[in-house]
Structure 1
């Protein structure tokens, strides 16, 4: 099979070419002594992301078991590397004056700006403008989506950021604590979201980060929990992945969102990696 096929003006890589390169990169990543940011680690993950965002009509659900295992391994490795990269930059930012003025030091900052702009537009297009209270599940040590949303798009909204890692929350709290107005609207909760119940009824909108629930079973369990405790008519914004991007992040399908009405599905074709699904909790 040819590596390239042309669809309109844009070259699409074949599934076979993508898979061969993925296998090579996975082997190289497994040989790394550490996933902490350094030139070698950064280069490998940059190459992986650049490969996975190329146009490709692969459906990862049809892959044989050996490739499914590589995909699951890659998602975990990407999650760990992403967490370490965010922690390093968050720690660096927390030690300098006015960290919020220096967020551009983070190498993928512009991707977060693009994704936040996109998600805000999807929310606005569906009538969700300046929600009163938002939960962000899986905020991490550098909660860029919450910060960008709060400072640029939802200037009166209160944000509760949930992460199981209290160290991540401590560093994130320091960055947000440098701005009194933002600190007043942003809380950090060190909890597994499936342990959070009644509080979920207080949110107009819940964001579910791509790496919360690393496989289908975990993701479906979390979505069911949110469905049970969110308020009726509450909005759920879920990040997913399609095509080659599904080697970086778990896939959420419409069938996984039982009890939710699907409002919008968006699949990026540029350097934004995550797909976005917007859904509303149906009235029971």
Structure 2
């Protein structure tokens, strides 16, 4: 009887979550713009709260196996990605105009928490990195900003170096101005990371942003392209997702054969609480396994 009641509760909880996600997706599609605004902000905040709340495994499985939800998942992830880019562009311009606005960015604490976790994860599996590249850095590269501070504190006087790479010229321009106004050193490059034109052999660690690659297949292809331009033994950090957070960001399956061909996965972290992204840390193999 108890087991039957629990299963019924799981089904009811899953149905409520599915209905809510479908409703939010429909309303996001109706918005004239996904840029910052009262209606969009409320919908996205509600979605994030819904997906970041910790549920039991059976409820999550029932939600993520629902055929109607699966059919809209790529669209929902795309809408979330577009909204995130517009939000960051909006705030990057505000912060460049008035550097004191940085602390007012609503997700700044989340970025600081995530960067702290990632930096300590890197230090847990190897020496503290001194040279880091962030691929898909966007208009507001707060991770790079936070990591510069962490590397400088851990470097014992040794200079750190960060390269931010994005295919959007406007994102590179505004992020360059942001770092300059903050008095921080970093390089910025406008390039498509899938083109193979960025030399990554000198970097201790390379990041792949959560929005790089919209599917498992695309992420695998980009990972292979990136890893072939890194040196063996260097670390690759990939931001992914887990649980209901897969509704917000595409997941990378770290156990996939196409991933393990190029890297040895050494650490996977699934933060709870306000930090949305999962973290995959992998070491580049000397020779890819055929």
Distance in 2 of aligned mates of 1:137 and 1:245:
22
Any idea what the Cα deviations from partners look like across 1:48-91, whole Å, max 9, x if unmatched?
Answer: 00000011332499635542231111110001001111001100
More helix by share: 2
Is 2:163 the partner of 1:165? no
Deviation at 1:127, TM superposition (A): 2.1
TM-score (norm 2): 0.87
Uncovered stretches (5+) of structure 1, i.e. residues with no partner: 6-12
Match of 2:18 in 1: 19
1:18–1:61 Cα change, 3 Å: closer
**Superposed CA RMSD:** 2.0
Question: Aligned match of 2:93 in 75, 91, 98?
Answer: 91
Match of 2:108 in 1: 109
Distance in 1 of aligned mates of 2:46 and 2:113:
20
The equivalences for 1:1-284 within 5 A come to: 2-3=8-9, 14-56=13-55, 57=57, 58-59=60-61, 63=65, 66-96=68-98, 99=99, 101-129=100-128, 131-155=129-153, 156-180=159-183, 182-183=184-185, 186-197=186-197, 199-254=199-254, 255=256, 256-258=258-260, 259-284=262-287
Any idea what the Cα deviations from partners look like across 1:246-278, whole Å, max 9, x if unmatched?
Answer: 000010112152221111111112111000010
Which contiguous aligned blocks of 4+ residues in structure 1 show a shift greater than 4 angstroms?
A: 1-5, 59-62
> Aligned with 2:174: secondary structure?
helix
1:61–1:206 Cα change, 3 Å: farther
For the 8 Å contact 1:3–1:17, the answer to whether it is kept is no
The count of corresponding residues between Structure 1 and Structure 2 is: 270
Distance in 2 of aligned mates of 1:264 and 1:15:
30
Distance in 2 of aligned mates of 1:207 and 1:94:
24
Distance in 1 of aligned mates of 2:144 and 2:111:
10
For the 8 Å contact 2:232–2:284, the answer to whether it is kept is yes
Deviation at 1:16, TM superposition (A): 3.0
Uncovered stretches (5+) of structure 2, i.e. residues with no partner: 1-6, 154-158
